[in-house]
Amino acid sequence: MRRGVILLAFAVALPAISQVPPTHAVTFKGSLVELKVKSAEKDFPIRNVWVWTPPVPASQVNTLPVVYMLHGWPGSPNGMIAGTVAPLTAAFAKGAQPFIAVFPDGNALTHADSEWADSYDGAAKIETWLTTNVIATVEAGNIRSRDDRALLGFSMGGYGAGIIGLHHPNLFGQVITLAGYFVVDDLTNAFGGITSHQSKESYQTPSNYLKVASQIRWFLGDSPEDYTPLIRGAAEAWAAKLKTVKAKYTLHPAAGGHSYVFVGSEVTAVASWLKWGVVTPPTPTPSPSPSTSAISLPTNSQPTPSPTA
């Protein structure tokens, strides 16, 4: 059975988790803000992003590192918010270094199984949107270094986190994959098919980027109870490849199967595993521009993505 059929059944079975609006799913301290961020694509010219700031003094917000959290398919930011914010709140209360969690919407219309990618036909440009407009919007006023920015993804989001991190090691110093996979699984033709668009297939294949994998710290979470053939054992196989290039990785199994119970268990461990540099506070300016607000749309200060391989 293929991933899309299995995960669709899972999504239907868990409406209470995956369909609760974020404003109702989160009932604890901290702030959850919705941003609308422009995208140069046909499917969604404006995409939603949810930003959760943990309960810290306002003066510390601009010194927090940032983790971008990518949902699976079928899925949305709602499920990731419901599955991660509560355990993160508890972990931070117990002494883990807090960070800002960002939940972008990686869904597509033309190719529903987006793989968090730029589709071959330009209908979706999700990777470009995330690595330019989203970072510039969320971090406006204090763009973080790669040492203070990470990617985390569940299922399809785990694949997205891995391949985007490999494409942009200058932007992300740490990658966390939870029930992710590391091969092309193009269920809705986002990459155009292997025969007619081999270059796109090659670009989206993680093993083609092992030379840069050693620049990233990896957390590979999986569950021995995962029922998805594509995903079961994928973390171990990727760890073996990382070992060949002497990349730093942690292989961390947790109970819970392919579910947000598993995600919640893993993010607790992730909060302690992450290693951050020291974020330098922004230098105050005499007349702050409105464009430095966390909810402003992207400006020309966007980080430049690394060249495609």
- Paired tokens of 19: 């369909």
Q: Looking at residue 9, what is its pLDDT?
A: 37
Whether 28 is covered by a domain: the verdict is yes
Whose CA is closest to 172, among 119, 219, 137, 205?
219
- Out of 159-168, 193-202, 212-221, 243-252, least confident range: 193-202
The tokens 């918010």 sit on which residue? 81
Which residues, in sequence order, are bridge partners of residue 178?
A: 154, 221
| Greater model confidence, 278 or 139 | 139
- Cα 23 from Cα 302, distance rounded (Å): 29
Q: Percentage of the chain with pLDDT > 70?
A: 81
Mean pLDDT within 277-286: 74
Whether 110 is covered by a domain: the verdict is yes
pLDDT band, residue 158 (cuts 50/70/90): very high
Whose CA is closest to 134, among 170, 102, 98, 157?
102
pLDDT band, residue 283 (cuts 50/70/90): confident
Whether 45 is covered by a domain: the verdict is yes
Domains contained in the chain, number: 1
Whether 66 is covered by a domain: the verdict is yes
Q: Looking at residue 144, what is its pLDDT?
A: 98
**In Å, what is the CA distance from 261 to each residue of 86, 152, 224, 242, 290?**
12, 16, 13, 27, 40
Whether 309 is covered by a domain: the verdict is no
Identify the CATH number of the domain in which residue 220 sits: 3.40.50.1820
Q: How big is the chain, counted in residues?
A: 309
Whether 297 is covered by a domain: the verdict is no
Determine how many CB atoms are found less than 10 A away from the CB of residue 30: 17
Whether 303 is covered by a domain: the verdict is no
- Continuous segment of H or E residues that includes residue 11: helix 3-13
Whether 26 is covered by a domain: the verdict is yes
Name the DSSP letter for residue 118.
B
Give residue 75's domain range. Answer: 3-277
| Greater model confidence, 124 or 25 | 124
Residues 6 or more apart whose Cβ sits within 8 Å of residue 242: 210, 213, 214, 218, 249
- Paired tokens of 300: 């020309």
pTM: 0.84
- Average pLDDT along the chain: 85
User: What digits encode the pLDDT tens for the residues 262-273?
Assistant: 999 999 999 999
Q: Which amino acid is at 72?
A: G
